Amino acid sequence: MLVKTYGAALQGIDATLITIEVHEQSGVGNFSMVGLPDNAVKESRDRIHSAIQVNGYSFPRRNIVINLAPADIRKEGAAYDLPLAIGLLAADEQIPTTFLDRYMLMGELSLDGTLQPIRGSLPIALKAKELGLKGIILPQANAKEAAVVQGLEVYGMENLRDVVRFLCGEYQCEPQTIDINTLFDADYKHINDFADVRGQENIKRAMEVAAAGGHNILMVGPPGAGKSMIAKRLPGILPPLTLSEALETTKIHSVAGVKAQNTSLITTRPFRSPHHTISDVALVGGGANAMPGEISLAHNGVLFLDELPEYKRSVLEVMRQPLEDRKICVSRAKLTVEYPSSFMLVAAMNPCPCGHYNDPTHECTCPPGAVHRYLSRISGPLLDRIDIQVEITPVPFSDLHRHEQSESSASIRERVIAARKRQEDRFAITNDLTTRRIETHCNAQMSPEQLRRYCRLDDQCSRMIRFAMERLGLSARAYDRILKVARTIADLEGCEAINTQHLSEAISYRALDRSDWAG
């Protein structure tokens, strides 16, 4: 007897339909599986054999041929155990085939038939809905995540026996439901607050500008000045995730297998802080079995690189293209996958090997030329892609000892949200008019056309930026960055036009272009 069950394969952060065809015929019990299964899929025979027998069913004893179609897509992992087991039982006529064409099945089986959680349940559920299937059956631990997809019946099962009884009509199970509206009740109680930061008002201002425009930022200062403390508080002043952003972020974390089980949706912006020993592949993604890297896990959030010069040069250079394109394409001999990587880069570094160059309270002990060699570990093209570069100094005792509380993240966030709203309203016009539908959400993402349209300068501003370009020797990319930051500063103040005050502050955020650093 020939039967078909349906599963899915993950490609990038999306799923592709996989049809499992099981054909049982007369013979002496040969078992054959075709369709590019990897070792984990091939080993499923032993897991399925044990699970079927432990739960009181019989493993087919006749010749069995299984085809995983389409045959040109490689099938990886143990998540195909459940559709394979159900297909074998249906082909052996131990369960009816009535409902098999209505549901997608995915789940890893233990030897006792318990269903183990899988990766990528959200994109798999989205694919099931796209195909018009009635529902999806998967492990209980993945049910809440898949239930985010509205209009699809999601059944979370504990073991193989429950699935068989459900398909036979002997077990009544209510589909998992999720109220998405309750998930988006903004909760910043557990996010670090800027009220804890004493002093450093200029750095807080730079962070506010960065958050308002989605700009990359680099902090340069001695150890203990508060660089890491400030960076960890940036997510608390960013606007809340929209539903589309939350779905895309959850898909990435689900595919990577790093999302907490029994959670349905990621509703807070991710903050990723990889160690400086990270490899190129771990940062951008890929590998033998392609997986998202740290830059994709930081999508719609923040990627924090502490001690920036300590990262390998090759690791830093691979970020240049994702910073511009907001996506990463991983090409290998057997596959090509694309991962989104629209993140805010927040970096921190010491000014020199000893950490005290330009420190008013400590003397720098580095030999001549050490500062230049240290800074040269970061290439000019990468620095050009960092919109804001600020110098941070140690906090004076008077600021540390004062009892007045600093401004909270909540009040800063209100200004950031208002500035982002102005940008969205402005770019909505351009996004609708262009035939290419440029998806621009903040000033840092402006195209050259939008830059010319929304960052026009009067004569006085033109003279100011010309003088800065000639004096600092800035590149054309740095020129664009200054205009984008100036546009954000104007948006924070509710101004339609960029004036000299906005431009002057934007130019001041090019700390590493000054002669005392560049020399």
Q: pLDDT tens across 308-318, in order? A: 999 999 999 99
Q: What pLDDT does 507 receive?
A: 93
Strand 135-139 versus strand 103-105 pairing type: parallel
Cα distance between residue 337 and residue 278, in whole Å: 21
The DSSP call for residue 74 is P
State the total domains in the chain.
1
Q: Are 216 and 386 in contact (CB under 8 A)?
A: yes
Please write the tens of the pLDDT for every residue from 418-428.
Answer: 999 999 999 98
Report CA 516 to chain centroid distance, whole Å: 37
Q: Identify whether 36 is part of a domain.
A: yes
Which regions of 239-331 does DSSP assign to beta strands (E)? 271-272, 285-286, 291-292, 302-305, 327-331
Please write the tens of the pLDDT for every residue from 463-472.
Answer: 999 998 888 8
Please write the tens of the pLDDT for every residue from 250-277.
Answer: 999 999 988 877 678 898 899 999 999 9
Please write the tens of the pLDDT for every residue from 276-297.
Answer: 999 999 999 887 778 899 999 9
Q: Which helix (H) or strand (E) holds 403?
A: none
Q: What is the mean pLDDT of residues 23-38?
A: 90
Residue 246 has pLDDT above 70, yes or no: yes
Q: What pLDDT does 432 receive?
A: 53
Q: Identify whether 309 is part of a domain.
A: no
Which regions of 93-226 does DSSP assign to beta strands (E)? 103-105, 108-109, 115-116, 135-139, 153-157, 217-220
Q: Are 465 and 457 in contact (CB under 8 A)?
A: yes
The three-point CA angle 216-349-204 to 5° equals: 55
Q: What pLDDT does 179 receive?
A: 84
Q: Identify whether 228 is part of a domain.
A: no
Q: What pLDDT does 187 receive?
A: 59
Q: What is the mean pLDDT of residues 360-370?
A: 86
Q: Identify whether 100 is part of a domain.
A: yes
Q: Identify whether 356 is part of a domain.
A: no
8 closest CA partner among 125, 156, 99: 125
Q: What pLDDT does 245 receive?
A: 92
Q: Identify whether 239 is part of a domain.
A: no
Q: What pLDDT does 149 receive?
A: 93
pLDDT grade for 429, boundaries at 50, 70 and 90? confident
Phi/psi for 263 (5° steps) reads -110, 145
Range with lowest mean pLDDT among 160-169, 205-214, 374-383: 374-383
pLDDT grade for 516, boundaries at 50, 70 and 90? low
Q: What is the mean pLDDT of residues 389-403?
A: 79
- C-alpha distances in Å from residue 153, one per residue of 10, 83, 182, 262: 21, 17, 20, 17
Please write the tens of the pLDDT for every residue from 447-458.
Answer: 899 999 999 999
Residue 435 has pLDDT above 50, yes or no: no
Question: Mean pLDDT in the chain?
Answer: 90
Please write the tens of the pLDDT for every residue from 318-344.
Answer: 998 899 889 998 887 677 888 999 999
Q: Identify whether 505 is part of a domain.
A: no
Beta bridge partners of 519: none
Please write the tens of the pLDDT for every residue from 472-511.
Answer: 888 888 899 999 999 999 999 999 999 999 999 999 998 7
Cα distance between residue 156 and residue 176, in whole Å: 7
Supply 430's token pair.
Answer: 């351009």
CATH number, domain with residue 111: 3.30.230.10
265 closest CA partner among 282, 278, 252: 252
Q: What percent of the chain has pLDDT over 70?
A: 94
Q: What pLDDT does 371 receive?
A: 85
Q: Identify whether 160 is part of a domain.
A: yes
The residue range of the domain holding 137 is: 2-178
pTM reported for the whole predicted model: 0.90
Q: What pLDDT does 192 receive?
A: 84
